[in-house]
Amino acid sequence: MLQFILRRLGVSAIVLLLASVLVYFLTTISGDPLAGMREQANDPKVAAQMQARIVALDLDTPWFLRYLKWLGGAVGCVWGQCNLGTDVNGNAVLDQLGSAAASTLRLVLLSVVIACIVGILVGVLTAIRQYSDFDYIITFAAFVLFSLPVFWVAVLLKEYAAINYNNWIANPSFSPAQIVLTAIILGLIVMLFMGGSWKRRLLSFGIVAVVVGVAMPYFTWLRFWQYPQMGPAVIAVVILAVGAFALQTTVGFKERRVWLPALISAVLVMVVYYASWNLLSEPNWWILLGGLVLAIAVPWALGVWLGGRFRPQAVGAAMSVTLTGAFLTIVDHLFVTWPGFMALKPRPISTIGSNTPNFKGTFWESFLDNGTQLLLPTIVLAVVSIASYSRYTRAAMIDVQGQDYMRTARSKGLPERTVILRHAFRNALISIVTIVAMDFAAVIGGAVITEQVFGWKGMGELFQTGLKNVDPAPVMAFVLVTGGVAVLFNLLSDVIYALIDPRIRV
Please provide the DSSP assignment of 34-100 as one string. THHHHTTTTSHHHHHHHHHHHHHHTTTS-HHHHHHHHHHHHHTTTSS-----B-TTS-BHHHHHHHH
Residue 59 maps to a domain = yes
Backbone angles phi, psi at 209, to 5 degrees: -65, -40
Tell me how far the alpha carbon of residue 2 is from its chain's centroid.
30
Return the amino acid letter for 63.
W
> How does pLDDT run across 355-381, given as a tens digit for each residue?
788 888 899 999 999 889 888 988 988
The stretch 22-47 carries a mean pLDDT of 79
Q: pLDDT band at residue 41, thresholds of 50, 70 and 90?
A: low
> How does pLDDT run across 310-357, given as a tens digit for each residue?
888 899 999 999 999 999 999 999 999 999 999 999 999 988 877 788
Share of the chain above pLDDT 90, in %: 31
Residue 70 maps to a domain = yes
Q: At a CB cut-off of 8 Å and minimum separation 6, what does 396 contact?
A: 123, 428, 429, 430, 431, 432
Backbone angles phi, psi at 149, to 5 degrees: -65, 140
Residue 423 maps to a domain = no
Distance CA 143, CA 257 (A): 44
Residue 506, pLDDT > 60, answer: no
> How does pLDDT run across 144-187, given as a tens digit for each residue?
888 888 888 888 899 998 999 999 998 899 999 999 999 999 99
Return the SS3 of 467.
Answer: helix
Residue ranges making up the domain that contains 83 = 2-95
The stretch 391-420 carries a mean pLDDT of 85
- β-bridge partners, 92: 86
**Neighbour count for residue 149 (Cβ, 10 Å):** 10
Q: Provide, for the chain, the percentages of residues in helix, strand and coil under a 3-state DSSP scheme, each rounded to the nearest 5.
A: 80, 0, 20
Regarding predicted confidence, which is higher, 444 or 407? Answer: 407
Residue 42 maps to a domain = yes
Residue 53 maps to a domain = yes
3-state secondary structure 363-384: HHHHHHHHHHHHHHHHHHHHHH
Number of structural domains (the chain) is: 1
> How does pLDDT run across 60-98, given as a tens digit for each residue?
888 889 999 988 888 888 777 888 888 887 788 888 888
Please provide the DSSP assignment of 389-413 as one string. HHHHHHHHHHHHHTSHHHHHHHHTT
Residue 424 maps to a domain = no
**Neighbour count for residue 115 (Cβ, 10 Å):** 24
Distance CA 381, CA 154 (A): 9
The stretch 228-239 carries a mean pLDDT of 92
**Neighbour count for residue 240 (Cβ, 10 Å):** 16
Q: pLDDT band at residue 290, thresholds of 50, 70 and 90?
A: very high
Tell me which of 41-55, 212-226, 450-464 is least confident: 41-55
> How does pLDDT run across 92-140, given as a tens digit for each residue?
888 888 888 888 888 888 888 898 889 999 999 899 888 888 888 888 9
Q: pLDDT band at residue 267, thresholds of 50, 70 and 90?
A: very high
Q: Are 479 and 23 in contact (CB under 8 A)?
A: yes
Residue 81 maps to a domain = yes
Residue 285 maps to a domain = no
Distances (CA, A) of 405 to 126, 249, 250, 424: 21, 20, 19, 9
